[in-house]
Structure 1
Amino acid sequence: MDAVFDLDDLLEADEIAWARKARAFATNRILPAIEQDFEDKRFRVELVAELGAAGFLGMHLDGYGCAGAGAVSYGLVCLELEAADSGWRTFVSVQGSLAMSAIHKYGTEEQKQRWLPGMAAGELVGCFALTEPTGGSDPASMKTTARRDGDDWVLDGSKRWIGLASIADVAVVWAETSEGVRGFLVPTGTPGFTATPIDNKLSMRASIQCDVEFDAVRVPGDAILPGARGLSGPFGCLNEARFGIVWGAMGAARSCLDAAIGRSQTREVFGKPIGATQLIQAKLADMFVEYEKGVLLALHLGRLKERGALTPAQISVGKLNSVREAILIAREARTILGGDGITSEFPVMRHMANLESVRTYEGTDEIHQLVLGRALTGLNAFA
Structure 2
Amino acid sequence: MTTNLLDFDLDGLAAFCERLGEKRFRATQLFRWIHQRGEGDFDRMSDLAKSLREKLKTCAAVQALAVISEHQSSDGTVKWLFDVGAGNAVEAVFIPEDDRGTLCVSSQAGCAVGCRFCSTGHQGFSRNLTTAEIIAQLWYAEHQLRKRLGTSERVISNVVMMGMGEPLQNYAALVPALRVMLDDHGYGMSRRRVTVSTSGVVPMIDRLATDCPVALAVSLHAPNDPLRDNLVPLNRKYPIDELMDACNRYLEHAPRDFITFEYCMLDGVNDQPEHAQQLVALVRRHARSGVWCKFNLIPFNPFPASGLHRSAPQQVAAFARILSDAGIVTTVRKTRGDDIDAACGQLAGEVQDRTRAVERMAKRRTIAIQPVGLPTHSNNKEA
How high is the TM-score relative to the length of structure 2? Answer: 0.24
More helix by share: 1
Larger relative contact order (CA 8 Å, sep ≥ 6): 2
How high is the TM-score relative to the length of structure 1? Answer: 0.24
